[in-house]
Structure 1
């Protein structure tokens, strides 16, 4: 479920949920499952009744649900109702927010009442293996490695599942024609992240060291062209964080030339920028380049295992802004920071010729939820995961900063969503 974007930033651009379509592609592409009856249910809105009605009509034996922060409450309620109606139906959760720590939160426990298994790693091969099972009993699920199974207040792990060794073996929903024509395209050149910042989910899990080949990326770009995608969302942790992945992207684009006429949305790690990255960005139709600063305070960044070199950062920003349009991203409510420290970060970020987006800190699974330190004394909303208070920020500090940012964005002609505030480039 991909919700409507705050403030209608994307206009008429459609962004269908990608993760669940990756799973769909894995099943569609499997010859052993050629006779399986499949349905994709994705309404793009938190309508529990609509999902339950659609699934009830389909009468499934197996349901796979991909969840993110924004869809977790809705999808868990859907699972609860389906389990009551069809207790023999196996319900499997995956996606970035599908973690035992989330399902153990008070609004969602006990997980055993509504789900049978959780996939906490790459889901394509695992869900395919589940779909191949002759029966979907608890005993059968135990034979599939890479699962967490709920069991009376504890979680049973079914064994280690190594990351995908050959990423090209992953079926593409674009190449199989499973994505809606004219929608935003999604592209991967590698998986995971070499960094392990505590506030971010990217670098927490074991991921493949492999990359998608240039030939695979060529087929993706050709599929994007066939379906008339106006924009390409690069899902990599950073355009420049995997040299082999970037080289394959360069080669593929040289062979296809699609990105010259499409908008490219990507993240980039500023202190790793090289001339080849700048040349690439100057050639393609970049419309959004996110640059994560998060905090200016070196003590805060060190606390969160975030590398930072101010001189290299400023040099990189000068080079980037000469060839493309960028947005600096910062976070308020980080443990160890303070309101005063965040204001310094905001002022510093706004000194560059870029837009600046401030985010309310979220306590994400595989990030602060599991890697935060006890002395950070974090309290957060168990539904939306927004930080309520922590080391350096009391509850009133957080509320006051939200109000302050709301005033400042309006005063500066910016925009705001529920958990972000965007400042335009200073003239």
Structure 2
């Protein structure tokens, strides 16, 4: 708590959505550092003020804004944010800048200076770290981890040093209308054992966001060239176990429903990963955790440990082509990858894959091959992204060597490569939407491979025809269809596919699978009860024999029934009405 004469500091950012994975952790860490560090805590009254694109006012500003009107909407949004910040009468405002809020926050800072010129504005975050001297709308920018540099800057300002007499703080860029007047190296990484927890000091209230974004480590042992970490230190610094235990006890006390673990390679250290999983199992058995993991580090023991907690793993495959991966400093041993993912399937662990289209050296055909390979391993979801050539990454520095053409403003998407021309990238983006709707949003993992196998189609051929079906039926994806609407689309499309292949005799069991597995995923995912009408007994539909359609239809008896599916502590359950 500051003194009665403390200067008001606002730590702010603009979020995409109000959710656990989007909560303002970065800027909250800066706020915690300033309010707890002995060098600043008695001089400043610190407040966290986050905004969100989903807030009614912000949503109204951007509603209906086309590409042509986007700039005007960003200007209005910046003016609105500046007005809201000015109402708090701060002396200093620190902005956390990312790809999605870069333009709006810079405009907000400019507007704020017009409203109250005496306010000092500071910007940090990944976008600023990449190009700190480009952001002319701020008084100062900080490149690198911001906790120590922010404290040093505010300590100097509190001592009335004045902008032109500041000490040479590593990572601090003093702009004052002339980009790069004083330019120093990027800040050194902050040691985790010297950082303060925004959860434990009350800066972040997990109840506001429906969950937590939990930082367990900083740094990454890998150097994937498209990632900001490619220019960071190639080592991992772990947060002290004492702090982690206190945070998890807080999550237990607050009954936090879900936690997104912010650690790019959770299983980089197997011993630590196992220790953490035991702690999670003991302290928060009812909380659902989301981890990012590397497939090459998964073994049977880790898979069993993951299976004992409520969790899902997201695994960055990016491409299934080892030659393409070499271009971005990644590797893949396909046999080992398949074996290790098999451990997760054997233990019933939920997992998904990330894939990127537009990587240097990749093609549309290669991207489709990656999708086919990924879906053959039964992921729960498949997240497909266009390559972003982010400033501050090794890929950005080498992009011209690969003859990449990309957007030089957020979101920095690649526009063409020699092997992946613009037209092919648009086809990849369209296919990605179809995959997302049918497979991921449609929760098709339980029955998808059975369907494509009996249709004798590759997954991408099947999903490409679904893409055409959406266009022919003029299905609008805005707003996104509901789960029930997606299920209806799935059933109609699958029915047509089986009729086209003259496999109508298998249609009833496949439609039953879509209905029953869909209802069970609704019960597990949303806690939703539902009633479905089936043509076969539910036990038969869920049996492994159902996956062999000819055998099932030759031996199972048809029996129309109504089944109620509902959630329970042990997972989805059903009963015949």
Same fold (TM over 0.5): yes
Larger radius of gyration: 2
What is the DSSP-based 3-state SS (H/G/I as helix, E as strand, rest coil) of the residue aligned with 1:336? coil
**For residue 295 of structure 2, what is the aligned residue in structure 1?**
270
What is the DSSP-based 3-state SS (H/G/I as helix, E as strand, rest coil) of the residue aligned with 1:197? coil
C-alpha displacement at 1:253, in angstroms? 3.7
Query: Are 1:22 and 2:32 counterparts?
Result: no
Say whether the 8 Å CA contact 2:21–2:260 is kept in structure 1: no
The 5-angstrom pairing of residues 286-305 of structure 1 reads 286=311, 288-305=312-329
Distance 1:347 1:178 in 2: 45
Query: Are 1:205 and 2:232 counterparts?
Result: yes
For residues 131-151 of structure 1, give each alpha carbon's deviation from its aligned partner in whole angstroms, at most 9, with x where no partner exists. 212237433444322223447
Say whether the 8 Å CA contact 2:315–2:353 is kept in structure 1: yes
Task: Note the residue ranges of structure 1 that are not aligned, 5 or more in a row.
Answer: 105-110, 417-421
For residues 365-421 of structure 1, give each alpha carbon's deviation from its aligned partner in whole angstroms, at most 9, with x where no partner exists. 3325634342222222213212211232222221222123334544x35449xxxxx
**For residue 230 of structure 1, what is the aligned residue in structure 2?**
257
TM-score of the superposition, structure 1-length normalised? 0.86
For residues 37-62 of structure 1, give each alpha carbon's deviation from its aligned partner in whole angstroms, at most 9, with x where no partner exists. 22322121254344211221223222
> Which of 94, 105, 119 is matched with 2:142 structurally?
119
Change (3 A) 1:289 1:250: closer
Change (3 A) 1:209 1:200: closer
**For residue 184 of structure 1, what is the aligned residue in structure 2?**
211
**For residue 40 of structure 1, what is the aligned residue in structure 2?**
48
Query: Are 1:93 and 2:120 counterparts?
Result: no
Task: Note the residue ranges of structure 2 that are not aligned, 5 or more in a row.
Answer: 1-13, 59-76, 450-577
Higher helix share: 2
Larger displacement relative to structure 2 (263-272 or 127-136):
127-136
Say whether the 8 Å CA contact 2:220–2:236 is kept in structure 1: no
Query: Are 1:395 and 2:416 counterparts?
Result: no
C-alpha displacement at 1:218, in angstroms? 0.3
**For residue 128 of structure 1, what is the aligned residue in structure 2?**
151
**For residue 358 of structure 1, what is the aligned residue in structure 2?**
384
Distance 1:103 1:162 in 2: 18
The 5-angstrom pairing of residues 20-419 of structure 1 reads 20-31=27-38, 32-45=40-53, 47-101=77-131, 104=134, 111-112=135-136, 114-133=137-156, 134-135=159-160, 137-150=162-175, 152-154=178-180, 156-159=182-185, 161-165=187-191, 167-182=192-207, 183-206=210-233, 209-243=236-270, 245-246=272-273, 249-250=276-277, 252-253=279-280, 257-286=282-311, 288-323=312-347, 324-354=349-379, 355-367=381-393, 370-381=396-407, 382-410=409-437, 412=438, 414-415=440-441
For residues 293-330 of structure 1, give each alpha carbon's deviation from its aligned partner in whole angstroms, at most 9, with x where no partner exists. 10111111111110211111111110122231000110
**For residue 15 of structure 2, what is the aligned residue in structure 1?**
2
Say whether the 8 Å CA contact 2:296–2:340 is kept in structure 1: yes
Say whether the 8 Å CA contact 1:22–1:124 is kept in structure 2: yes
Say whether the 8 Å CA contact 2:124–2:141 is kept in structure 1: yes
Change (3 A) 1:14 1:146: closer
Say whether the 8 Å CA contact 2:170–2:188 is kept in structure 1: no
Q: Which has the higher contact order (CA 8 A, sep 6+)?
A: 1
Aligned length: 404
